[in-house]
């Protein structure tokens, strides 16, 4: 508390004297309030400490009167004393002494009584605290003795005290003396209290620091600084300068304290007046007051040389903030940060001239400056005569020194400018990043595989640099400092280095060669451009170089070059773009600068067939390079869109007719990349590209085959495409590709294509003829996951046909498939579960699956995080239960299995719900199991789902409800849970399957009369009547049964009424 009182509290000027008063400021008030709260709450929190007797009483002048004292006080002469006395010397704990006729002073001996005083003082308690603290500048010392007096600097009394106490405790432990014991106890209390006081002290200090920091006042020096910077930034160019002018208003005289305002205005705290002219508004007159900047009312016309000093608007901490509010243009410029510094171009030579020219100005300037120094000193409140003398001395010094001073000042301001400039850069980048981030989210997700995060490898110490580094550095020097001839020699020479080597690539970057190479692209010299691009093309294979090229704005220039006349140049630019645009930001840059359109334009070349002249061949080369670049660019979704809009599809279709592999690879690569978009898939089909893709499947080039297969893989999502692939005879080469077991990429693409093509039953037929199953089963071993996913997917599709299921078993495919159920790859698991499910449709297969414990594996996949896997596993479980022997027993053997599957009814995914309903319908066939799931609360969970509109879910849900009715009073429970009325609505669905299962469920439910009533009310009879006439016997029977039940109830009702 002492520290806070000394440092933070604001004492009146009579500081140092004993009679110091606390100023009436907000800061002090907060301080007092906190002390008061502390004292008031102290007794409740620390009863023992509060009873501790002070070493000496705290005494102060009080506003308390004897009549205020209530309870436990007695008169003693003129004074009032408390009945309670201190145990040591019997002094009363509280004494109210009459000092003068109407003046009392109070002395208290413990915090408890301090609290009492405050309580008795009522409204005056803040005054009491104030009085107490004013009279006792260091209450801690009084309370606990002088050893705890607040001292400047290190205060370690408390540590000494702790030591003392521990020592005494040790001693007393030896002596077992009673006397020592109580002493120690007291000391412990003292210590505790001291610690409490320290804590309060700290809190107080912290609070006051917070307040003090928020109340920084202006000084002439800060005002000068701010005005100076603004002056440097102002000028008449609207695009470069943020202000037109910024001047001091007034006669320019600067007072000794650094203020420019007239002395009588200085009394109000005014420092100076500033006249600012922004570009867009009228002149603003600003008062710089110690409390902040604010606008005044401007020039007073009635009194020349005077301002109307009335404050207008708010105060601001900084001049810039004020101007930002006043002038939108200024705010914009400051935000844009693209203004020029007026004094930037002044270099050293000029400076001397200016120095001479501005002699007079500088004199004054330096004078101002010296005064600024003084202001600083003044703020430290050292108002000595000595200071004034030195000031006078300075003034008498010859002007030479002033000049020197001026120089110094000049440099200083220069530095300031630099600082300002440096600051601009990061803030500008900051404003850009959110835009970047926003944009990047819009890119397609297919690019997750790419090298977004390149590891930055800096060259180590110079000693380790290879000799190439120095040679390249030399060549770059020639590039920079040579004419065209030297440039070309250097470029050609640079190409002799092994540019595929990373050391050379990074060396070019590290010596600043990239900048030069990219700059060369902006010149008129075709040869330089070609030479530069040839190098860039090579080195842009490096990830870091790509990024650097993009950062240096190389892509923009290259996109421009795409429009050049020279074909070689176009080729090189497109090839380099193809290399650079391997990462997302680069692709975006290409698009944003219209690169996609130009690249698509490159594709438009003369017909590829017929006689080839060298000129035509070069056109074809241009088209090839364009396709290469587009291939890279087509990894971004937006680029695909842009390409489509630019009309790339028909051009690609034409190029696809080419017979050259080096042309076909980029074209097919682009197509397969784009085929992820439905619009492209449609176009690929309608433009007749499937035929060409199939044709190229038979190519000798594995890369081309791979891209073709991959394109078919993506396009075959559509039925028409699948048919086209078959019609063009594409299935045979696809199956043939399965033998390419060492090229994994090709294998993955081919199996993928087979998978998708097998969705059509006609294709399955063909695959059967081609004996694809044996080949595919052979691929279930030792393949990477990408291949396995597709192989298993294909088997799953093929297994929809009964003979194929048998074929899979014969080929020994069941066992590896079941083994794959233990994997972790989500996509693979989805496909494996599907395939196993399909296989399980066959009794013989099921025997194998059961033996391999496949059902348990499937069941455990229900616990998978991925809802797709969950759903797929649940679907696969259905046929397993249907076809396994002793299915009920098997299901029961899975510990917690039934509970798990019931709990999946809480899932949010429709597919999971539908599949689980189907599984439950199968499980419920077994009575015991039905009993268990009923116990797990399956009925209310199913009932809750009945409001769905999804037909697939409705169908299986109704099925599950129908089966679950067969236990106990489940029918009643369904009725109670309100499942009946929604089921009736299912009958309006357009799906026949829904009708069937719903009718079955209603039939089951109608066995309970209450449900019949609900159904009837929901209008079930009419749709059921219609369904009685259905072709489907199942449906017919169920509907009729249901109506029968309703009718029977009605009859019984009538009977009851009449009997």
Partner 1 sequence: MPAKRKTFGTKRQEMAHKADRLSKMKLCHFTKQEVERLLQLFKEFTKAITEEVKRGKEGIHRSAFRDILHRHFDMTDDVLMDKVFKAFDADNDGYISDEEWVIGMSVFLKGTLEEQSRFCFGVYALRGEDSYIHREEMFMLLKDCLVQHQQEEDAEEMQKDLVEITLKKLDMDHDGRLSIEDYHKAIKQEVLMMESLGPCLPNARCRDSFLEIIADDKNKQKC
Q: Return residues touching partner 1 (CB under 8 A).
A: 474-475, 477-478, 481-486, 488-493, 495-496, 524-527, 530-531, 565-566
Alpha carbon distance, N-terminus to C-terminus of the chain: 98
Can you tell me the distance from the alpha carbon of 951 to that of 109, in angstroms, rounded to the nearest whole number?
86
Can you tell me the distance from the alpha carbon of 940 to that of 613, in angstroms, rounded to the nearest whole number?
79
Nearest distance, CB of residue 763 and partner 1, angstroms: 53
Nearest distance, CB of residue 553 and partner 1, angstroms: 24
Angle (CA) 796-801-806 rounded to 5° is: 85
Residue closer to partner 1 (CB basis): 160 or 474: 474
Residue closer to partner 1 (CB basis): 351 or 489: 489
Nearest distance, CB of residue 569 and partner 1, angstroms: 10
Residue closer to partner 1 (CB basis): 75 or 564: 564
Can you tell me the distance from the alpha carbon of 801 to that of 789, in angstroms, rounded to the nearest whole number?
20
Can you tell me the distance from the alpha carbon of 943 to that of 955, in angstroms, rounded to the nearest whole number?
14
Q: What are the b/e assignments for 833-857, b being 16+ CB within 10 Å?
A: bbbbbbbbbbeebbebbbebebbeb
Extract the tokens encoding 580.
């650079």
Q: Looking up tokens 């109830």, which residue turns up?
A: 1049
Nearest distance, CB of residue 485 and partner 1, angstroms: 5
Residue closer to partner 1 (CB basis): 401 or 495: 495
Residue closer to partner 1 (CB basis): 482 or 702: 482
Secondary structure (3-state) at 854: helix
Nearest distance, CB of residue 482 and partner 1, angstroms: 5
Nearest distance, CB of residue 490 and partner 1, angstroms: 7
Residue closer to partner 1 (CB basis): 449 or 615: 615
Nearest distance, CB of residue 534 and partner 1, angstroms: 8
Can you tell me the distance from the alpha carbon of 859 to that of 854, in angstroms, rounded to the nearest whole number?
8
Residue closer to partner 1 (CB basis): 532 or 670: 532
Gyration radius from the chain CA atoms:
46
Name the nearest CA neighbour of 201 among 5, 337, 50.
5
Give 961's Cβ-side CA count (13 Å radius).
38
Residue closer to partner 1 (CB basis): 294 or 478: 478
Can you tell me the distance from the alpha carbon of 962 to that of 996, in angstroms, rounded to the nearest whole number?
11
Cα dihedral 355, 359, 364, 367 sign: positive
Residue closer to partner 1 (CB basis): 480 or 985: 480
Strands of 79-82's sheet, edge to edge? 53-62, 103-110, 94-100, 79-82, 73-76
Residue closer to partner 1 (CB basis): 57 or 561: 561
Nearest distance, CB of residue 559 and partner 1, angstroms: 21
Can you tell me the distance from the alpha carbon of 955 to that of 976, in angstroms, rounded to the nearest whole number?
21
Residue 300, Cβ density class (10 Å: 0-12 exposed, 13-18 middle, ≥19 buried): middle
Residue closer to partner 1 (CB basis): 475 or 904: 475
Bridge partners, residue 11, by sequence: 22
Nearest distance, CB of residue 481 and partner 1, angstroms: 5
φ, ψ of residue 76 to 5 degrees: the values are -140, 90
Helices 702-715 + 661-674 axis angle, to 10: 30
Nearest distance, CB of residue 473 and partner 1, angstroms: 12
Residue 455, Cβ density class (10 Å: 0-12 exposed, 13-18 middle, ≥19 buried): exposed
Residue closer to partner 1 (CB basis): 489 or 1021: 489
Residue closer to partner 1 (CB basis): 529 or 963: 529
Residues present in the chain in total: 1059
Nearest distance, CB of residue 692 and partner 1, angstroms: 36
Give 345's Cβ-side CA count (13 Å radius).
2
Can you tell me the distance from the alpha carbon of 818 to that of 854, in angstroms, rounded to the nearest whole number?
6
Greatest distance between any 2 Cα atoms in the chain: 136
Extract the tokens encoding 438.
């926003």
Nearest distance, CB of residue 494 and partner 1, angstroms: 10
Angle (CA) 604-610-616 rounded to 5° is: 45
Name the nearest CA neighbour of 376 among 274, 256, 249, 211.
256
Nearest distance, CB of residue 536 and partner 1, angstroms: 14
Helices (H), 511-610: 513-520, 526-539, 543-551, 554-561, 567-580, 584-592, 595-603
Residue closer to partner 1 (CB basis): 529 or 624: 529
Residue pair 492/531 in contact (Cβ under 8 Å)? The answer is: yes
Residue closer to partner 1 (CB basis): 493 or 503: 493
Q: What region does 632 belong to: left with phi over 0, alpha with psi -120 to 50, or beta?
A: alpha
Residue closer to partner 1 (CB basis): 529 or 588: 529
Residue pair 921/960 in contact (Cβ under 8 Å)? The answer is: yes
Give 269's Cβ-side CA count (13 Å radius).
10
Residue closer to partner 1 (CB basis): 133 or 535: 535
Residue closer to partner 1 (CB basis): 192 or 560: 560
Bridge partners, residue 276, by sequence: 246, 284
Nearest distance, CB of residue 561 and partner 1, angstroms: 14
Can you tell me the distance from the alpha carbon of 216 to that of 946, in angstroms, rounded to the nearest whole number?
68
Nearest distance, CB of residue 471 and partner 1, angstroms: 9
Nearest distance, CB of residue 514 and partner 1, angstroms: 19
Secondary structure (3-state) at 286: strand
């Amino acid at each position: 508390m002492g520290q806070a009182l000394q440092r933070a509290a604001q004492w009146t000027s009579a500081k140092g004297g004993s009679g110091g008063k606390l100023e009436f400021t907000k800061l002090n008030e907060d301080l007092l309030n906190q002390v008061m709260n502390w004292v008031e709450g102290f007794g409740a929190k620390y009863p023992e400490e509060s009873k501790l007797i002070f070493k000496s009483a705290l005494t102060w002048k009080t506003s308390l009167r004897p009549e205020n004292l209530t309870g436990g006080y007695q008169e003693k002469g003129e004074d009032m004393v408390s009945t309670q006395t201190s145990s040591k010397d019997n002094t009363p704990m509280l004494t109210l002494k009459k000092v003068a006729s109407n003046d009392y002073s109070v002395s208290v001996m413990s915090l408890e009584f301090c609290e009492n005083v405050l309580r008795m003082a009522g409204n005056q308690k803040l005054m009491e605290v104030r009085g107490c603290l004013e009279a006792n500048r260091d209450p801690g010392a009084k309370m606990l003795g002088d050893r705890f007096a607040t001292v400047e600097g290190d205060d370690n009394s408390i540590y000494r005290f702790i030591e003392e106490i521990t020592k005494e405790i040790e001693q007393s432990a030896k002596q077992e003396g009673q006397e020592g014991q109580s002493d120690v106890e007291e000391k412990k209390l003292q210590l505790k209290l001291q610690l409490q006081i320290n804590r309060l002290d700290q809190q107080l200090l912290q609070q006051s620091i917070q307040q003090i920091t928020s109340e920084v006042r202006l000084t002439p020096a800060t005002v000068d600084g701010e005005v100076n910077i603004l002056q440097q930034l102002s000028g008449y160019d609207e695009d470069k300068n943020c202000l037109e002018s910024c001047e001091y208003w007034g006669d320019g005289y600067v007072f000794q304290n650094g203020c420019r305002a007239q002395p009588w205005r200085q009394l109000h705290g005014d420092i100076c007046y500033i006249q600012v002219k922004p570009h867009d508004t009228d002149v603003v007159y600003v008062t710089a007051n110690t409390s902040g900047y604010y606008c005044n009312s401007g020039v007073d016309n009635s009194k020349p040389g005077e301002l109307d000093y009335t404050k207008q608007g708010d105060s601001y901490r900084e001049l810039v903030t004020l101007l930002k509010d006043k002038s939108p243009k200024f705010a914009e410029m400051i935000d844009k940060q693209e203004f020029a510094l007026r004094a930037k171009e002044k270099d050293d030579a000029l400076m001397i001239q200016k120095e001479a020219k501005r002699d007079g100005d500088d004199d004054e300037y330096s004078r101002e400056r010296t005064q600024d120094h003084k202001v600083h000193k003044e703020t430290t409140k050292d108002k000595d005569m000595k200071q004034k003398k030195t000031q006078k001395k300075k003034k008498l010094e010859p002007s030479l020194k002033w000049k020197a001073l001026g120089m110094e000042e000049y440099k200083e301001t220069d530095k300031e400018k630099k600082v300002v400039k440096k600051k601009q850069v990061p803030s500008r980048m900051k404003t850009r990043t959110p835009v970047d981030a926003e944009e990047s989210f819009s890119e397609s997700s297919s690019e997750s595989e790419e090298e977004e995060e390149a590891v930055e490898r800096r060259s180590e110490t110079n000693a380790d640099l290879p000799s190439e580094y120095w040679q390249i550095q030399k060549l770059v020097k020639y590039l920079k400092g040579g004419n065209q001839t030297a440039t070309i020699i250097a470029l050609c020479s640079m190409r002799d280095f092994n540019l595929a080597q990373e050391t050379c690539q990074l060396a070019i970057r590290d010596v600043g060669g990239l900048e030069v190479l990219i700059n060369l692209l902006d010149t008129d010299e075709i040869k330089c451009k070609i030479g530069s691009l040839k190098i860039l093309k090579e080195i842009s294979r490096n990830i870091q170089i790509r990024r650097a090229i993009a950062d240096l704005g190389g892509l923009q220039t290259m996109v421009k070059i795409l429009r050049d006349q020279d074909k070689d140049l176009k080729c090189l630019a497109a090839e380099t773009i193809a290399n650079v645009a391997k990462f997302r930001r680069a692709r975006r840059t290409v698009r944003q600068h219209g690169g996609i359109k130009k690249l698509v334009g490159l594709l438009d070349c003369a017909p590829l067939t017929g006689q080839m002249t060298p000129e035509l061949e070069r056109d074809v080369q241009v088209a090839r390079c364009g396709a290469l670049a587009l291939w890279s660019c087509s990894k971004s979704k937006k680029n695909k869109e842009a390409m489509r809009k630019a009309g790339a599809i028909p051009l690609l279709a034409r190029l696809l007719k080419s017979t050259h592999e080096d042309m076909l690879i980029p074209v097919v690569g682009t197509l397969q990349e784009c085929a992820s978009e439905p619009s492209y898939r449609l176009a690929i089909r309608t433009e007749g590209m499937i035929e060409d893709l199939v044709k190229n499947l038979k190519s000798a080039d594995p890369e081309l085959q791979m891209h073709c297969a991959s394109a078919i893989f993506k396009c075959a999502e559509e039925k028409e495409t699948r048919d086209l692939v078959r019609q063009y005879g594409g299935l045979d080469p696809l199956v043939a590709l399965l033998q390419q077991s060492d090229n994994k990429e090709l294998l993955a693409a081919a199996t993928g294509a087979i998978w998708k093509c097998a969705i059509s039953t006609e294709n399955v037929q063909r695959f059967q003829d081609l004996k694809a199953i044996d080949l595919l089963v052979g691929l279930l071993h030792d393949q990477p996951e990408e291949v396995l996913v597709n192989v298993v997917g294909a088997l799953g599709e093929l297994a929809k046909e009964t003979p194929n299921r048998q074929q899979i078993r014969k080929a020994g495919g069941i066992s590896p498939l079941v083994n794959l159920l233990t994997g972790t790859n989500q996509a693979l698991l989805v496909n494996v579960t599907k395939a196993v499910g399909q296989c399980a449709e066959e009794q013989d297969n099921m025997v194998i699956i059961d033996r391999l414990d496949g059902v348990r594996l499937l069941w455990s996949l229900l616990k998978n995080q991925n809802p797709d896997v969950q759903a797929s596993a649940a679907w696969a479980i259905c046929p397993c239960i249907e076809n396994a022997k002793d299915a009920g027993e098997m299901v029961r053997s899975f510990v917690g299995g039934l509970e798990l599957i019931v709990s999946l009814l809480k899932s949010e995914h429709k597919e999971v719900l539908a599949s689980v309903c189907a599984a439950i319908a199968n499980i419920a066939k077994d009575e015991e199991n039905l009993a268990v799931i009923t116990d797990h609360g399956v009925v209310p969970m199913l009932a809750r789902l009945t409001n769905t509109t999804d037909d697939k879910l409705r169908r299986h849900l109704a099925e599950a409800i129908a089966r679950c009715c067969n236990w106990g009073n489940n029918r009643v429970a369904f009725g109670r849970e309100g499942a009946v009325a929604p089921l009736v609505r299912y009958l309006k669905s357009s799906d026949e399957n829904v009708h069937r299962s719903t009718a079955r469920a209603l039939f089951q439910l109608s066995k309970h009369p209450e449900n019949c009533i609900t159904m009837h009310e929901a209008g079930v009879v009419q749709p059921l009547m219609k369904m009685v006439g259905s072709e489907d016997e199942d449906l017919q029977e169920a509907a009729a049964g249901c109506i029968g039940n309703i009718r029977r109830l009605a009859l019984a009702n009538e009977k009851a009424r009449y009997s």
